[in-house]
Amino acid sequence: MDCLFCAIIKGDIPSGKVYEDEYCYAFMDINPQAPKHCLIVPKLHIASADEITEENSVYVSKIFEAVPKVAKLLDLSDGYRIISNVGEHGCQSVKHLHFHILGGKKLSENMG
Ligand code: AMP
Ligand code: ZN
């Protein structure tokens, strides 16, 4: 399967790694939308949040256990935003589930 984020997890494509454990991999976004912009992805290929099931949801809960660790590593003690785009209307461009973590300044109140 040809998946950019699977290739990044494998190390076939370089990335600015922030954090890694058995279940997830976090790295800096190549095109940051905030002063600090990181992506957290499951090490299992899940196409989007719309593909989360009882069988794979442990990867999602492990990602959210990693979120505070990643936020600490990025020094986001003033807060941050987590976003996951899904499908065409969500403007998802990479079809491997990922959570954007954005921070480093006060973000816009507008999310839509
Ligand atoms: P989305 O549009 O929600 O699917 O988000 C995909 C994100 O992946 C975008 O914010 C891109 O900037 C980011 N991205 C694409 N290629 C890379 C890469 N090679 N390394 C890091 N981030 C990337
Ligand atoms: Zn993948």
Q: Which residues contact 39 (CB under 8 A, 6 or more apart)?
A: 5, 26, 27, 28, 29, 98, 99, 100, 101
56 C-alpha to ligand 1 centroid (Å): 22
Tokens of 69: 């660790």
* pLDDT tens-digit readout, 27-84: 999 999 999 999 999 999 999 999 999 999 999 999 999 999 999 999 999 999 999 9
- The reply to whether 98 belongs to the active site is yes
Full DSSP string of 99-112: EEEEESSPPPS---
3 C-alpha to ligand 2 centroid (Å): 5
Tokens of 58: 């442990």
0.95 cut: is pTM over it? yes
Could you say which of 37, 45, 96, 98 is catalytic?
98
Of the listed ligands, the closest to the CA of 1 is: 2
* pLDDT tens-digit readout, 34-50: 999 999 999 999 999 99
Cα(first)–Cα(last) distance of the chain, in Å?
Answer: 32
